């Protein structure tokens, strides 16, 4: 029997770990549950974890009953899936999809360890636009789609979703497919990048940021990392007064990363395909709930549900969005931009 080599944990300077890979307690919630709970109680999200949003509101609307068949179209960390599985009380079945090969494997293992075996949970690694192919011919009693990027993806600098720490400018939900954002950015012409920033994120400084990006390339400097893109945005907004600049750069960076992420993952096209197929995979009386996180997504969902009612595909659809309570937003600041819309077949 081979002797196991002891691996020391990553050391860090100061009283608290700052880098993602140093946060060994947060990255092991099963072992350090009390420490993780303290972070949650303070209104923060532990690194590598995702706090599900609007859980009770979703459960109240879906009205899940034992024996029903459901689909979690965006499995993520599995927080919503766990609660839906508990509502089934061991009878029925939940199908789930996620395009992320890294996180979907971890989540599947986590849910299996909680006792949700293959008899009640089937996980497929596929894009949620393919919901009609998850279980061909299946009609669902309930469907949930949470369109937000999971905290595990945002927190890990190697995924390239955040400008707060340096990492490769990737932004792909499935890092084994397609091209990273760094390559996509180099391919875009001036008018294409301005249009992308405007249409995908309503960026008010789209032209200024585009010119700064092109100047960076013209100087022979790369934009291959998250902090290099941050620097280009900061350069673009250098004309702003000092007292306004820091917050403006932060917000423009958030919008720039959002716009690139949407483009790299073809998110609007994927959502359109999902919304087109959704009513056809629901049983009569079947319920669908969708969580959106920015205006572009919400417009698509709102239009699809309203048009579905007009066309007789849905019996009823939400006229107003459901938002997280002030208490939930305090406990989980990442919930603030969330909107929930629903429809009934």
260/278 same-domain check: no
259/305 same-domain check: no
Q: What is the CATH number of the domain that holds 189?
A: 1.10.150.170
Is residue 310 one of the residues assigned to a domain?
yes
**Residue 102: what pLDDT?**
87
Is residue 112 one of the residues assigned to a domain?
yes
65/144 same-domain check: yes
Is residue 237 one of the residues assigned to a domain?
yes
Q: CA–CA separation, 193 vs 183, rounded Å? A: 13
251/302 same-domain check: no
Residue 127: C-alpha distances to residues 22, 131, 144, 261 (Å): 32, 8, 14, 15
- Residue of 40 and 83 predicted with greater confidence: 83
Q: What does residue 265 show for φ and ψ, rounded to 5 degrees? A: -100, 5
Each residue's pLDDT tens digit, 181-199: 999 999 999 999 999 999 9
pTM summary value: 0.83
250/182 same-domain check: yes
- Point out the domain boundary residue: 239, 264, 289: 264
Each residue's pLDDT tens digit, 23-53: 444 445 555 445 544 544 554 555 456 689 9
Is residue 70 one of the residues assigned to a domain?
yes
275/256 same-domain check: no
Is residue 60 one of the residues assigned to a domain?
yes
Q: How many domains does the chain have?
A: 3
- pLDDT above 90: residue 64: yes
As a dihedral over the C-alpha atoms of residue 28, residue 29, residue 35, residue 39, rounded to 10 degrees, the angle is 110
Q: Show Cβ contacts of residue 71 under 8 Å, excluding neighbours closer than 6 positions.
A: 94, 95, 96, 97, 131, 134, 140, 142, 143, 144, 281
Q: Which domain holds residue 278?
A: 55-151+268-344
Q: What does residue 292 show for φ and ψ, rounded to 5 degrees? A: -115, 160
- Give the mean pLDDT of the chain: 88
């Amino acid at each position: 029997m081979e002797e196991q080599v002891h691996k020391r944990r990553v050391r860090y300077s100061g009283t608290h770990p700052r880098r993602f890979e140093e946060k060994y307690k947060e990255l092991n919630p099963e072992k350090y549950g009390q420490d993780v709970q303290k972070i949650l109680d303070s209104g923060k999200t532990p690194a590598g974890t995702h706090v599900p949003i609007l859980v009770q509101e979703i459960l109240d609307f879906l009205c899940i009953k034992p024996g029903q068949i459901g689909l979690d179209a965006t499995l993520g960390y599995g927080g919503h899936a766990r609660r839906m599985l508990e509502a089934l009380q061991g009878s029925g079945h939940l199908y789930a999809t996620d395009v992320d090969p890294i996180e979907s494997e971890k989540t599947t293992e986590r849910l299996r360890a909680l006792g949700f075996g293959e008899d009640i949970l089937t996980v497929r690694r596929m894009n949620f636009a393919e919901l009609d192919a998850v279980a061909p011919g299946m009609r669902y009693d309930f469907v949930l789609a949470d369109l937000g990027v999971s905290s595990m993806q945002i927190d890990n600098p190697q995924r390239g979703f955040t400008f707060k720490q340096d990492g490769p400018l990737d932004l792909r939900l499935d890092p084994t497919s397609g091209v990273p954002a760094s390559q996509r950015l180099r391919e875009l012409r001036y008018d294409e990048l301005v249009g992308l920033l405007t249409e995908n994120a309503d960026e008010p400084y789209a032209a200024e940021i585009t010119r700064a990006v092109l100047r960076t390339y013209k100087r022979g400097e790369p934009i291959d990392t998250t902090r290099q893109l941050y620097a280009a945005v900061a350069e673009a907004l250098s004309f702003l007064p000092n007292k306004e600049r820091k917050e403006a750069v932060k917000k423009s960076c958030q919008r720039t990363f959002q716009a690139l992420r949407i483009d790299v993952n073809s998110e609007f096209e994927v959502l359109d395909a999902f919304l087109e197929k959704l009513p056809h995979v629901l049983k009569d009386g079947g319920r669908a709930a969708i969580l959106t996180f920015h205006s572009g997504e919400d417009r698509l969902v709102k239009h699809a549900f309203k048009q579905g009612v007009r066309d007789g595909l849905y019996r009823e659809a939400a006229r107003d969005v459901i938002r997280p309570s002030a208490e939930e937003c305090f406990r989980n600041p990442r919930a603030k931009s969330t909107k929930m819309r629903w429809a009934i077949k």
